Amino acid sequence: MVRSVALALLVACGSAPPRDVAHPAAADDPSNPFRDYPKTGVCANRPDDFGPFVLDARQAAMRYGLTAVKYTDAPSTQAKPVEVCGVRGEEDWLHSRQCAHGHPGQESDIRGDTGPGGQCGAIIDLFTIQCPEGKVEILMDMYQCGPNERFM
């Protein structure tokens, strides 16, 4: 009896397991940029589709760019941005790092939303910092929040 009920449910619901994706429309829409981002690891806990990914302490301690002292210590790309929590986290990170020769940088341009990227497919922000040696571009993922951090 239990077997026939389970078999009936599989047939009624489709026997293929659902795809594990970060965005609900991803499985059906090939143009959706989120289709290739799985809900595993740091991407697994996102209570709200528009909010942050909630990291445990170990995951938060491993965020890219966390230990950088100079902007050049964490070269960033769309695929590998500096990871912080919220707009405040972006500001704190930018203001607590230095240019290559130890000078404070001057924020010269903020261009948010360069599209999805990073390990979870979140929207990435671009900042340009003016240093004595020239402009430095920093790409940031502000959707990586650890314990006791507020997404603001």
For 62-85, the pLDDT digits (tens) are 999 999 999 999 999 999 999 999
Three-class SS state of 40: coil
Residues 6+ away with beta carbon under 8 Å from 105: 71, 94, 97, 98, 99, 129, 130, 131, 136
Co-location of 23 and 96 in the same domain: no
Co-location of 17 and 80 in the same domain: no
Number of domains in the chain: 2
Which pLDDT belongs to residue 104? 82
Which pLDDT belongs to residue 38? 59
Co-location of 73 and 51 in the same domain: yes
Co-location of 101 and 64 in the same domain: yes
In a domain, 151, yes or no: no
Co-location of 15 and 71 in the same domain: no
Co-location of 29 and 59 in the same domain: no
Which pLDDT belongs to residue 26? 40
Residue 97 · residue 106 · CB < 8 Å: no
Which pLDDT belongs to residue 45? 92
Co-location of 49 and 29 in the same domain: no
Which pLDDT belongs to residue 41? 84
In a domain, 95, yes or no: yes
Q: What's the CA gap between 75 and 78, in Å, rounded?
A: 11
Angle at 110 between CA 42 and CA 64, to 5 degrees: 25
User: What's the whole-model pTM score?
Assistant: 0.73
Co-location of 50 and 122 in the same domain: yes
Co-location of 117 and 68 in the same domain: yes
Which pLDDT belongs to residue 110? 75
In a domain, 58, yes or no: yes
In a domain, 28, yes or no: yes
Which structural domain, as residue segments, surrounds residue 5?
Answer: 1-36
Co-location of 50 and 101 in the same domain: yes
Co-location of 108 and 139 in the same domain: yes
**What stretches in the chain show pLDDT beneath 70?**
1-40
Which pLDDT belongs to residue 39? 67
Residue 10 · residue 4 · CB < 8 Å: no
Co-location of 27 and 79 in the same domain: no
Which pLDDT belongs to residue 13? 38
